[in-house]
Structures are given as structure tokens and as C-alpha cells.
Amino acid sequence: MGSQVDPAFRVVTPNRSGFFVWRIEDMKPVQVPKDRIGQFYKGDSYILLSLTAFGQSPRGLNVQMKEVKGQRLEQNIHFWLGSKTSQDEAGAAAYKTVELDDFLGGAPVQHREVEGHESELFLSYFPKGLKTIEGGHKSGFNHVDNTFQIRLYQVKGKRNPRISQVDISWESMNHGDAYILDLGKVLFVWVGQESSRKENFKSLEHARSLRDERPGGIVVAVEDGEEEKMTADEKKLFEQHLPLNEKSQVKATDAVACDNVFERKSAENMKLFSCREEDGNLTIKEVKTGPLSRKDMTSDDSFIIDCGPEHIWVWIGKQATKSERAEAMRNAVGFIQKKGYPTDTPVTRVVDGGEPSDFKCLFPDWPQPPPPGKVYSRSRIAKTVQTKFDASTLHNNNTALAAESQMFDDGTGKVEVWQVQDFDLVEVDKHTYGDFYAGDSYVIKYTYKVNGRDQYLIYYWQGSKSTADERGTSALKAVEMDDAVGGAATQIRVVQNKEPPHFMAMFGGKMVIFSGGKAGWQKGDKDMGPGDKYMLQVRGTSELNCKAVQVDLSATSLNSNDVFVVFTKSAVCIWAGKGSTGDEREYGKNIASRSPRTPEMVFEGQEKESFWNILGGKQPYASDKRLQDDESAHPPRLYQISNASGRIRAEQIQDFVQDDLVPEDVMLLDVWDALYLWIGSGSNKKERDSAETVALEYLSTDPAGRDKDTPIIKVKQGLEPPTFTGFFGVWDRDLWSKGKTYEELKRELGAQAVQGSLVQEAINGNDQDFNEVPKYPYSQLIVATDELPSGVNPENREIHLSSDEFKQVFKCSYEEFSKKPAWKQQHIKKGLQLF
């Protein structure tokens, strides 16, 4: 760790988790007391440091302070710039961030945060919401500020809402957010017609916490469009600050920015730039346009990854110069200006060897080792299902195994299969269950029991040669079948050759995919079916992942690493390549059992001439040693997905848990081998109907170059299978039913009505502190009510005079004036045009 560091940073202890916040005051960092963390002044700049063990949760304010042994800390430094901070303070924050980074050995990830455009990671540090208020160090506001000032707060954001002070006027408001009008003893919560459940709930929670700090306070909930339902006293007080005849100034939801989303940029549109110091000058050169490879970056340089206005990344090589390291963020900001990107474009600096998962995901060839405590997508499935798979535990105490193996159960439930024909479904003969044709599409209903209750899966399998009409019909019929069971099913789209393990397990190791279409074969067109002679290639090591696929009846189709079964009218042969396993040979026999004839084993290198004759003669075939797949783990990623603007937008949820699944949203869980679409019970019809289209767009825009045929699984709120819940750690089935609803919390807080005496008290000043409220000249306080400065109560104008001007106008001090009887105060104020 560096030795030259500001004394304020000495509170950081090596190898110990923690969360620290400093405010820049007179160009120096000053630590913010813990009880004030989460409140930011718009006129200031801040530095935040988060130190956690990898996989540790929670972070931020709720982090557990403890020593971390045997592993490297996950270190994130953020410098936050208020909208009204000075350039000098912003520069000091950036400079001191570099100093703190050096103190920590240069390993932290650095983030530049701009007020109103904070990253999801930054917002996640503040579970009660990020609060921004007017003022700053230079204006005299400090962290030990317990005095009251009338304020209007905007509550915005679907998951970790921002609570921001705005001007007290209808013009500052919109129908898509919630607001708190804080009048001291009375707090009005105004809920926009299109505000989210989380915003509504968070606004009430924050109002309650403010009320609890002030004995005798009251919270009044007001619905957008129902203001007339307030009592006469409530309405009188409310209109002192927000006259209802001016409500037309409220903006439409569409007129304001979307809540915390970024536009995904396809791999082809990303750009890589090198940054190199030459003769004391920094040179930036474009290296390539995406897709990007990990090998494109070398440790002796620094690089900028340009993802457009949604994100700029700076990567610092291990051998980069000290100047390149120190100037990285400043250079990135200059790059943003040169490109003409918005000033709030997110910037993140990472170092060679300490790259976070979000960065690695930009590169298709960058493996990601799983951090401790997380469940990852399907790797080593064969080993999993053979050595520790017990279906009876999946829905109870082993949902993590369900998520890893992607098994709902062991596949022994009730299976029903239909084939798509002429825009309808035709039931398939049970004796041919497991037989699929590439020219057709199918719908499979699977029924199994959990704790004695029926659960349903509806797969729709689409052959690679099936028509668009057949694929569309399969999807439509799956929806109809789901509706028939009351919407209780999980829908799963499966594309040929991308079958998940549970799908294959339903057919007990006997799944076969034939070329052509069964419908044409039944009509007498033999080219459409398997024919009298055909060959199947066998893949898999157990009943849970085994299938056979028809290949050309030719020696060129053989592969030394696999097992093939050849069927003729008079014989069945099992050809076993030298690289095949004993399990594959056993399942070759299982596939061969579909014929009544006894199969003949044929080992590679021991074939008879008669065997080659069946294949049309001996020819060269693939015989290289099996390449070991690099099954690098891909961390599961949760997104809120939207394409409301016509372009796909996604908000990633950091360190997600079950509570991040918002009932009014459609969420996407990407586990690499599959995409889960979680349908919240309160999501709108447009989002539900377009969910699958959005998922396909998500795949096509993934920088990692995803397979467009990745299985897509629809999961409904309250009916989540263990293959889904296992990715969330502890899962509470009663989460959405046992907590207070917005309506319940509103009733609880609204049990006490606003009385006339409290209204009068609020009008008379709400115990405002004369020394803490904004000051204005006498000439600005004797104007008409609608011309008064924002936040000035027309009935309490005098407290906004400076101490000297108050004495000049009133001929006494404010302290002396406040001791006079109320009737006399009013009489004096009327004579001075201040009432």
C-alpha cells in the first residue's frame, strides 16, 4: 500500500471489509459520519470506498465490518459529483480518488458517478434510497444539520430509488414518480398515476422515518387525481405550497427520462482504443471495432472500450506508466467530450488482473471463475446428475442443485405430446414418445407433484426445418395450454439440438431426432421419414442427458469420439469410436432397443466389409482426439428488460436476491445455458406479450456472441421452479404475501387526520429555525404570493430576512419579536406587508 496518503484515508484498514464516505471540503476529504451517509448535497463532491470479500452481501451501509483472510478484497472507489459542485471540487475528488487508489495498491475499480445518473452498484449501497438535497459546504450547509426547512422530494427509481430535493412547484413534478412535501409536522406523500410500486412504498417509508424524528408528526397520502378527497384542513395546507389550480403544470411520464436504464450495444458496434504515453504526450488510437477479444489488449498499454453513451471502460495494463494510471479517468472524460457523449456518461476504470464480471462479459473469450457462495449455470452436468442427483430434494433443501443441473425433477412425471399439424395439435401415440422430426414442431405437457400438488411444464419444441407457421402455432398453443391450467404452468421454448437436461430426461434416454417431418412421412413421402436404412449419432452419458440424432448414412458422418447406431431391415449395428466412453456405448444399446433385432457391436478399427457396404463404402471421417470443452463458468445476471422505446434497454441488478424481482416488471435471468423470463403478477400486457421477442433481442445484442437458439423459459410469479429459485440463494415462498402492501402502509400511516390546530401551526412556521432558512432581501418578500421565492411560506415571510435587515425593518431582533403575542406579531407583519 502507498505511504503518502491524506490522513482522512487512514481510517481504512487493510484486509478488512468496510464502507467509507468522504466529502470534499476546502479541497480536502472529510469523513462523513455514519448517521449521515446516504445524504448528498448537490453543491458538493464525494468519494466512496466499498471493501467486501468476493461474494459478500450485503454491501454499503449494511456491510459487516470484519477481517477478511485468505482472499483478495473486492474494492470499488466511486467519486460522486453533485449537479452544482464546482470544477475545483470535482477535480479534487478525482485527484484524491487516485491518491486513495494508490494507497490501496492500485487494485480498486474506479467509478465516476454523476448526480441523477448513478450506477446500479452505487445505488445498491443505500437500501433506504439515495437522498440528494440543495446546498453544499460552501453555502454553509454541513452534515450536522438537524434544523427544519420546507422541502419537496422526488422519489424516483424502480429498485434503489433516488430521493432528490426539487423546487416546490407542480412544474417540478411528473405523473411517473412519487413526491414528499415535507412541511415539518405534516408530510404529504403525492403518488403519481404511473409511479412504480417500489417508488410508492419507498416514499411512504421515507415519510414515516421523517415523521418518527418529529414527535406529533402526521403523514398524509394523496393519490394523483384524487386531491379533492383530502379534508378541508389538509387541502388548505397542501395548497399553501402546491395550488391545485396550477396542477396542469405536472409533466407527463413520457416527457422525463426513463428510470435507470441503459441501451445495450451490440458487439459489432463497440470500439477499442489504445492509450499510450509517447514523449510525454498521450496518444489515443482506434485499434478495432467489435466483437472484442481478450487478446486485443496487451499489458504494456492502457485501453478505452467505447460502448457509446451507455458506458466507457478504461483498462490499465500491468506495465502501464504511472502517468497513464493517474490520468486514466481524466483522459476518459476528455474522450467523452471529444465524442460528444453526454457529460453523465458512466466511466469505470479497471486494472489488469482485477477485472470485474461486468467488464469480462464484454469479451466472448474471457472465462470467469465463480466467486464463492454463488450458484452458476450448467457445467459438469453429467458428473452432477450421476454422483449427487436426488430429485426428491430439489424443491425442498437443494434448490442450488436444481439450478446447477437445470432439473425440475427426475423426469418420471406424466408426459403428454402433441404434434403441430394444419395450425392445430394432433396427439402423438404414446409408443412413439421421444421421437421428434426436424421438419415438425411439438408441444409437450409435463405434470409432476410438489408436496402433493400438481405442477406443470409446457415445452414447445421447434424443429430446425419446421415452417414459421408451425413454430408460431406451437408457441400459441403453449399459451392456450397454460391458460387451460389457470396460468399455473412454466412455459419453455426449446429449439432443436438445444434441449435442456430435463427435456431429455422425460424420455428416459431414448430421445431421437429424425430428419424430415413425420407429417410428410405419414402421407407416403419416404424422403420425409427415417427410411428403411438410417444412422443415429448418440450423445450423452445418462438417461438425463442422452439423445440420438439422425445423420447421413455415410462413413463421412462417423466420428471417433462418438457412438453410432445403424438400422437396416435385417440388422442393427452399434459402432463405437475409440474415443467414446462406456456410458455412451451403453446408451447406444438403449437406443438400439427400439428395434426387435439383437444389435451387433462394431468397434472402430475392427469393422467388416459388410458394415462399410451399408454405409456406401469406407471413406475418411473425423478421427481427431476429442477436444475438451472449456466450460468456463458464466455468472448468472438479472435484468429488468424493456423495449418500450423500440430499442432494447436493460438494467442489471447487482448482487441480486429474491426481493429484486419486482411484481410489476418482466425480469430476465441469464444463466448462459438458458434465459428465464420472470413474469411479475403486476406487469402490463404489452410487456408480457413482447417478453420473448425482447429475450431474443437480448441474445442478439450480447457482446459475448450468444447462440440465438438458447432455451427461453417463462416463469410466473409465485410458480417459480427450483431450477430458477436456486440462483437466488434463500427463497421465501411467502415474500410477496406476508409483507405490508402499499395500501396497508398508507392506511396505517393515515390513521390520524390533520386537525385545524396542526394546520395553523404548519402555516405559522413549522418551528423553522431563523438562522437556517434561505435569506432574501425585504424587497423580494413583499411581492405577490405567486412571485415569492421558492420555498417561502406567504404567512411566514419574515424569517427569510437576514438578521441585520430584520432589525432594520422590525426595529428589534428576531428573538425579541418572537416573544411578542401572536396577535401582535400578525398586526406588525401586516403593517410591513409581510402577511
Band (pLDDT 50/70/90 cuts) for residue 753 is low
pLDDT band at 378 (very low <50, low <70, confident <90, very high): very low
The pLDDT of residue 415 is above 90 = yes
Most confident segment among 258-262, 563-567, 591-595, 763-767: 563-567
Q: Which helix (H) or strand (E) holds 699?
A: helix 685-700
- Flag whether the pTM goes above 0.75: no
Give the orientation angle of helix 756-763 with respect to helix 232-239, to 10 degrees.
10
pLDDT at 751 over 60: no
Cell numbers given for 818: 418572537
User: Cell numbers 448513478 correspond to what residue?
Assistant: 118
- Count the neighbouring beta carbons within 10 Å of the beta carbon of residue 731: 15
Task: Express each pLDDT in 11-24 by its tens digit.
Answer: 888 778 889 999 99
Joined together, the cell numbers standing for residue 619 give 471413406
Q: Which of 76-90, 196-210, 373-387, 549-563 has the lowest mean pLDDT?
A: 373-387
What stretch of H or E contains 20? strand 18-25
Report which of 53, 32, 54 is spatially closest to residue 41, judged by C-alpha positions: 32
Beta bridge partners of 453: 450
Q: Which residue has the higher pLDDT, 109 or 532?
A: 109
pLDDT digits (tens, 9 = 90+) for 219-259: 888 999 999 988 888 888 898 889 999 999 998 875 555 44
What's the whole-number mean pLDDT along residues 129-147? 64
Confidence grade of residue 144 (pLDDT, cut at 50, 70, 90):
very low
B/e letters for 416-444, b = 16+ CB within 10 Å, e = fewer, are ebbbbbeeebeebeeeebbbbbbbbbbbb
Q: Quick check: 573 pLDDT over 80? A: yes
Share of the chain above pLDDT 90, in %: 18
Q: Which of 676, 364, 342, 615 is nearest to 493 (CA)?
A: 676
Region of 388 please: left (phi>0), alpha (psi -120 to 50) or beta: alpha
The string of pLDDT tens digits covering residues 327-371 is 888 888 888 888 888 888 888 999 888 888 778 878 877 765 544
CA-CA distance, 535 to 545, in Å (whole number)? 20
For residue 385, the model assigns a pLDDT of 33
Name, in order, each residue with C-beta under 8 angstroms of 515's C-beta and a sequence gap of 6 or more. 437, 438, 439, 465, 530, 550
pLDDT band at 821 (very low <50, low <70, confident <90, very high): low
Q: How confident is the model at residue 420 (pLDDT cuts 50, 70, 90)?
A: very high
Query: Quick one: which H or E segment has residue 199?
Result: helix 197-212
Inter-residue contact 710 to 673 (CB < 8 Å): yes
Instruction: Report the candidate in 492, 562, 539 with the shortest Cα–Cα distance to residue 381.
Output: 539
Q: Is a pLDDT exceeding 50 seen at residue 131?
A: yes
* CA proximity to 64, closest of 72, 56, 75, 54: 56
Q: Would you state the pLDDT for residue 117?
A: 85
- Read off the pLDDT band of 440 (50, 70, 90): very high
The phi and psi torsions of 220 (rounded to 5 degrees) equal -115, 120
| Helix (H/G/I), strand (E/B), else coil: 60 | helix
Q: Is 439 within 8 Å of 414 (Cβ atoms)?
A: no
Grid cell digits, residue 579: 474415443
What are the residues facing 641 on neighbouring strands? 650
Q: Of the ranges 232-246, 542-556, 797-811, which one carries the lowest mean pLDDT score?
A: 542-556
Q: If you average pLDDT over every residue of the chain, what do you get?
A: 79
pLDDT in tens, 650-702: 677 777 778 788 887 889 999 888 899 999 888 878 778 878 888 888 888 77
Percentage helix, strand, coil for the chain under 3-state DSSP, each rounded to 5: 30, 25, 45
pLDDT at 63 over 80: no
